[in-house]
Amino acid sequence: MLSYVGLSLLVLLSAMEAATVERVEYDYYKYHTMPEITKWMDQVEKDNPDVVTIVEYGQTYEKRVIRLLKIGLNTGEKKKAIWMDCGIHAREWIAPAFCQYFVRQILQAHKTDPKMQEMIKNMDFYVTPVLNMDGYIYSWKDDTTRLWRKNRSPGPPDCNSYGTDLNRNFDANWGTLGVSFNCSSETYCGSQAVSEPEAQAVTYFVGSRKDDFLCFLTIHSYGQLLLVPYGHPNFTAANYNELMGVGLGAADAIRSVHGKNYTVGTSPDVLYANSGSSRDWARFQGIPYSYTFELRDKGTFGFQLPEDQIQPTCEEAYSGALHIITYAHDKTFNGAVATAAATLWTMLLTVGVTGTTLM
């Protein structure tokens, strides 16, 4: 009897060991193909059912389903939100790598860090690891396609090139500055504002929830910059000074990790004027903290950032993003003091309304 139990236990243990050996840890410090990222998203949802849901919110030109990871504690109430998208430009491979790292970090921090627990309770994080899926897949095709930027829609009938620059296609001063109407140009802004299905997906999803969003972070490379709205030099955001202050704080946080300098400013000031960007569109919608992150490096490797730089780049960018997110959170949720005040006001109003005397 005992030996039978012992043998069964042994068999069970070996089976379990085999099962865990079977499941390899996801390598966040390597570049991943679209199918790998898709599979990873499914796994993250499966592993964290209480906080993670996959949301399908659109389609690419080639009819792929655009999905995001919604991360947050389900409180049954309408929540404030943080938006992050990566890979709007296909060749910027470090960006999707960062989105994946970001998800891993906040889920890990959620287990142990009270601040992250508070933020995941108060807010939902919407993270799109690869927005321009068609372009990203195309950039993996072979050596000649690695530097593809745009999406893969065919362009107007008389055009013999593919692709619209999704970050010039949003409805934000569309088609005015820093764009080309030549369909073979890398900054071709499309046939009209939001002509592209990928831009439509973001516009509809975020647009229909715009009052919920506190932050809109769009991740790119390269250049080591934090860009604040607007891309058009004639427009200044109402909270420009605040955006700069928080951005500079984020740059300080980034520098403290590995010593890398990120320059903060509007695009027309520190890079070039442009229009139709997702960041500008988000700010025009009223989303207060809207930033473009341009990750490493400064041109030595450019878009083809070596894999041994994925980890340090993600670590510093996470620090920067967290600074902005924490600021937005803390400004919105003033903690116990606000709750106490609210409770007492409610009490006083009730007393007033019912005419009860307190004496």
Nearest to 321 by CA among 212, 216, 193: 216
Distance of alpha carbon 49 from the chain centroid: 20
- CB 21, min distance to other proteins, A: 27
Between the alpha carbon of residue 8 and those of residues 13, 21, 22, 184, the distances in Å are: 9, 20, 21, 66
Task: Please say which residue, 109 or 244, places its beta carbon nearer to other proteins.
Answer: 244
Q: Distance from first CA to last CA of the chain, Å, rounded?
A: 77
Q: How far is the CB of 179 from other proteins (least distance, A)?
A: 11
Q: Does residue number 11 form part of the binding site for other proteins (CB under 8 A)? A: no
**Measured from the CB of residue 104, what is the shortest distance to other proteins in angstroms?**
20
Draw the binding track, 119-148, toward other proteins (x: CB under 8 A; -: no contact): -------------------x-x--xxxxxx
Question: Binding of other proteins at residue 9 (CB under 8 A)?
Answer: no
Active site residue 17: no
Residue 237 tokens read as 């955001």
- Regarding 341 and contact with other proteins (CB under 8 A), the answer is yes
Spatial neighbors of 72 by CB under 8 A, at least 6 apart, are: 51, 79, 81, 120, 121, 123, 124, 125
Within 280-319, the residues that bind other proteins by CB under 8 A are 283-288, 298-307, 309
Nearer to other proteins, 12 or 338 (CB): 338
| CA distances, 174 to each of 14, 26, 136, 190, 247 (Å) | 61, 40, 24, 10, 25
Is 130 in contact with 137 (CB distance < 8 Å)? no
Q: What is the footprint of other proteins within residues 33-72 (CB under 8 A)?
A: none
DSSP H or E segment with residue 128: strand 123-128
Burial (0-12, 13-18, 19+ Cβ within 10 Å), 189: buried
Binds other proteins by CB under 8 A, chosen from 5, 337, 353, 355: 337
Catalytic residue among 92, 196, 294, 316: 294
Pick from 10, 13, 16, 344: which binds other proteins (CB under 8 A)? Answer: 344
Query: Does 20 sit near other proteins (CB under 8 A)?
Result: no
Question: Does 348 sit near other proteins (CB under 8 A)?
Answer: yes
Determine, following the binding rule CB under 8 A, whether residue 105 of this chain makes contact with other proteins: no
- Using rule CB under 8 A, residue 354 touches other proteins: no
CB 262 within 8 A of CB 320: yes
Neighbouring C-beta atoms of residue 269, cutoff 10 Å: 13
Q: Which is nearer to other proteins, 69 or 95 (CB)?
A: 95
Closer to other proteins by Cβ: residue 69 or 190: 190
Nearer to other proteins, 128 or 221 (CB): 221
- As measured in angstroms, the least distance from the Cβ of 11 to other proteins is 42
Residues 171-210 that bind other proteins (CB under 8 A): 180, 184-187, 210
- Least distance between other proteins and beta carbon 222 (Å): 9
Tell me how far apart the 2 most distant CA atoms of the chain are, in Å. 85
Query: Does position 271 bind other proteins by CB under 8 A?
Result: yes
Q: How far apart, in Å, are the Cα atoms of 313 and each of 52, 253, 255, 305?
A: 25, 13, 11, 10
Residues 6+ apart with CB under 8 A from 8: none
Residue 65 or 342 with smaller CB distance to other proteins: 342
Tell me the C-alpha distance between 320 and 316, whole Å: 6
Strand partners, 68: 55
What residues pair up with 225 in beta bridges, in sequence order? 263, 294
As a whole number of angstroms, the distance between CA 228 and CA 176 comes to 18
Kindly indicate which of the ranges 11-19, 40-48, 108-116, 256-264 contains the residues binding other proteins, using the contact rule CB under 8 A: 256-264
**Given candidates 255, 312, 315, 326, which one binds other proteins under the rule CB under 8 A?**
255
- Residue 221 C-beta: closest distance to other proteins, Å: 11
By C-beta, is 54 or 270 nearer to other proteins?
A: 270
The helix/strand/coil state of 24 is coil
Q: How far is the CB of 289 from other proteins (least distance, A)?
A: 9
Active site residues: 294
